[in-house]
């Protein structure tokens, strides 16, 4: 079964547009995500160029706000989520010994909704009155009473994105639940699969709530309801509650698959099994549970009662416990391991240091009285970019470098990968570290102009942004270079790698594990 091409090769159009093969769909997701990384990244570079010095130079304030909104939405829904789903599509069937995803046609639909949803979202920039300009959090009444007409298109786009995620989540849960190879009990499940199972449940529970809240926005805007309008008996603070009921677990939807990747990469390059597998599983589940009950820590200044602030403050700080378990388990895995630092491991260790740093500023913002100062300042911007860029994005990079030889059958250019990592790791700190100081000094987020005393740190941050942004072209070049000129990779690829996917040749046959392997 080295070449199980059981049917004739099909045309390019049929192969990709009618794709039902998990490997093809995984590739589609990953390519789509990589493309959006450059779209969302370009938006960020315009933002940073405008902020290079005080005053208005490049864009007018409304366009600036639109860029901020689009950057957030594209990066969350167009880059991080599709990349994680792409990894899931490629890896879950390979790691549990299944021939494909459980619902291949639904899988096709899940992916092919995405490009249209993102195009619809992008088209709003060119509409009369400009694109949505109220930030990705879409707070009412900015997004209802005072929003441009194009907001309705954004709402529909979010409906589509949500639908895609929900279908993806159903597919992933069904696959993991029903299609594990014989003998693969729950506690033998690879940790990446575990994190995705928990993530998929989170998605299933929160994405419909997002769909609900944007539907309420739509009704308030067009059908005369008053969900968020105090004049009609509604309440704008309600929007924040419903949005963050979705929004906070969403952060963990992005983070948990990243944890999963790191939990695969670190043991491979430490040449030791993952330390405390069982606790990693429990930590994943408890993070997901806690994520559901901490949403109002985004709303400490919205006038919620002190008792509630206290509850949300303590429950938020409690998340540091399972997350800490994970961090210490990764360190314990590395401890006395036979370490080597190929690109995936570099990104994983970069993740470990910088994600933990972002976690610490997270604990700072969890403290309700202190958060009153941080709220809506650049400190918050710095915090979540450490967590999402040098955290989640680094983990995704790590996963791509780790599995790319398996997917393509060719080895990437290690030297280029190392350059990519070191330039990224240094520039990401030049980019985001000064933003902490700006925030603490009082610079608000989402403004195109600022007071003179913020000029120096903003200039430094913008220089970091340019280096970080253009460094990512190295990833694109390296991927293309690998596919064209990469040296042949072995099936095992990494000498320390353990798992079903490494028992297959590289690249794996189009249809793999048609006879399920037995796990002892």
Instruction: Centre a 10 Å sphere on the Cβ of residue 428 and count the other Cβ atoms it contains.
Output: 23
To the query of whether residue 510 is one of the catalytic residues in this protein, the response is no
What is the b/e burial string over 67-80, where b = at least 16 CB atoms within 10 angstroms of the residue's CB?
bbbbbbbbbbbbbb
- H/E element, 411: strand 410-411
How near is the Cβ of 185 to another protein at its closest, in Å? 18
- Considering the rule CB under 8 A, would residue 516 count as an interface residue with another protein? no
- Considering the rule CB under 8 A, would residue 178 count as an interface residue with another protein? yes
> Residue 377 gets which letter from DSSP?
B
- Answer for the pair 136, 69: CB distance below 8 angstroms, yes or no: yes
User: Would you say 161 or 206 has its CB closer to another protein?
Assistant: 206
CA distances from 397 to 393, 424, 496, 503 (A): 6, 11, 19, 23
β-pair partners for 444? 377
- Count the site residues for another protein by CB under 8 A: 34
- Considering the rule CB under 8 A, would residue 68 count as an interface residue with another protein? no
- Answer for the pair 403, 90: CB distance below 8 angstroms, yes or no: yes
How near is the Cβ of 209 to another protein at its closest, in Å? 4
- Considering the rule CB under 8 A, would residue 304 count as an interface residue with another protein? yes
Active-site pick, 445, 481, 510, 511: 445
Name residue, tokens 């192969």: 15
To the query of whether residue 323 is one of the catalytic residues in this protein, the response is yes
Binding mask 95-114 for another protein (x = CB under 8 A): -------xx--x--------
- Considering the rule CB under 8 A, would residue 238 count as an interface residue with another protein? yes
Q: How far apart are CA 181 and CA 520, in angstroms?
A: 10
State how far Cα 499 lies from the chain centre: 24
Q: Which of 125, 127, 209, 459 binds another protein (CB under 8 A)?
A: 209
- Considering the rule CB under 8 A, would residue 182 count as an interface residue with another protein? no
Q: What are phi and psi of 272, to 5 degrees?
A: -140, 150
Active-site pick, 27, 263, 424, 471: 263
To the query of whether residue 188 is one of the catalytic residues in this protein, the response is no
Token reading at 445 = 């987020």
β-pair partners for 411? 487
User: Would you say 163 or 313 has its CB closer to another protein?
Assistant: 163
Binding segment (CB under 8 A) for another protein, from list 230-238, 314-322, 411-419, 428-436: 230-238
- Considering the rule CB under 8 A, would residue 395 count as an interface residue with another protein? no
Q: Which residues are catalytic?
A: 71, 100, 136, 164-165, 248, 250, 252, 263, 297-298, 323, 326, 445
Q: Using CB under 8 A as the criterion, which residues of the chain lie in contact with another protein when the complex forms?
A: 102-103, 106, 166, 169-171, 173-174, 177-178, 204-213, 215-216, 227, 233, 235, 237-238, 241-242, 245, 303-305
């Amino acid at each position: 079964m080295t070449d199980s091409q059981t049917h004739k090769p099909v045309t390019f159009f049929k192969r990709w547009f009618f794709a039902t093969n998990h490997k093809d769909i995984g590739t589609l997701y990953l390519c789509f995500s990589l493309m959006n990384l450059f779209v969302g990244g370009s938006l960020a570079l315009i933002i940073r160029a405008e902020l290079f010095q005080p005053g208005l130079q490049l864009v007018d304030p409304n366009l600036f706000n639109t860029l901020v909104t689009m950057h957030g939405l594209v990066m969350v829904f167009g880059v991080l989520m599709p990349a994680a789903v792409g990894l899931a599509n490629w890896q879950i069937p390979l790691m549990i010994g299944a021939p494909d995803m459980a619902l291949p046609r639904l899988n096709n639909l899940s992916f092919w909704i995405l490009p249209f949803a993102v195009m619809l979202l992008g088209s709003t920039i060119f509409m009369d009155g400009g694109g949505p300009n109220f930030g990705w959090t879409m707070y009412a009444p900015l997004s209802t009473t005072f929003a441009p007409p194009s907001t309705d298109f954004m709402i529909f786009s979010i409906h589509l994105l949500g639908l895609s995620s929900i279908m993806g989540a159903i597919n992933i849960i069904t696959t993991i639940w029903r299609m594990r190879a014989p003998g693969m009990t729950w506690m033998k499940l690879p940790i990446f699969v575990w994190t995705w199972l928990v993530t998929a449940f989170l998605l299933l529970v929160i994405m419909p709530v997002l769909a609900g809240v944007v539907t309420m926005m739509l009704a308030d805007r067009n059908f005369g309801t008053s969900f968020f309008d105090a004049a009609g008996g509604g309440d704008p603070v309600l929007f924040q509650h419903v949005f963050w009921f979705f929004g906070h677990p969403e952060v963990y939807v992005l983070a948990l698959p990243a944890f999963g990747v790191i939990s695969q990469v670190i043991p491979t390059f430490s040449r030791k099994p993952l330390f405390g597998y069982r606790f990693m599983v429990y930590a994943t589940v408890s993070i997901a549970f806690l994520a559901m009950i901490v949403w109002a820590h985004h709303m400490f200044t919205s006038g919620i009662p002190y008792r509630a602030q206290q509850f949300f403050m303590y429950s938020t700080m409690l998340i540091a416990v399972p997350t800490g378990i994970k961090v210490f388990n990764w360190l314990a895995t590395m401890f006395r391991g036979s370490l080597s630092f190929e690109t995936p491991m570099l990104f994983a260790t970069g993740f470990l240091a910088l994600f933990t740093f972002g976690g610490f500023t997270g604990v700072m913002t969890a403290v309700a009285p202190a958060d009153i100062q941080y709220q809506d300042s650049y400190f918050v911007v710095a915090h979540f970019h450490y967590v999402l860029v040098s955290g989640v994005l680094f983990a995704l990079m790590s996963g791509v470098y780790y599995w790319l030889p398996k997917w393509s059958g060719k080895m990437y250019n290690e030297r280029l990968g190392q350059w990519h990592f070191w330039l990224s790791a240094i520039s990401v700190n030049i980019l985001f570290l000064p933003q902490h100081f700006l925030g603490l000094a009082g610079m608000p987020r989402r403004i195109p102009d600022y007071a003179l005393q913020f000029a120096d740190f903003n200039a430094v941050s913008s220089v970091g942004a340019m280096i970080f942004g253009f460094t990512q072209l190295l990833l694109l070049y390296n991927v293309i270079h690998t596919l064209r000129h990469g040296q042949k990779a072995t099936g095992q690829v990494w000498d320390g790698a353990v798992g079903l996917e490494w028992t297959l040749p590289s690249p794996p046959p189009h249809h793999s594990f048609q006879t399920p392997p037995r796990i002892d």
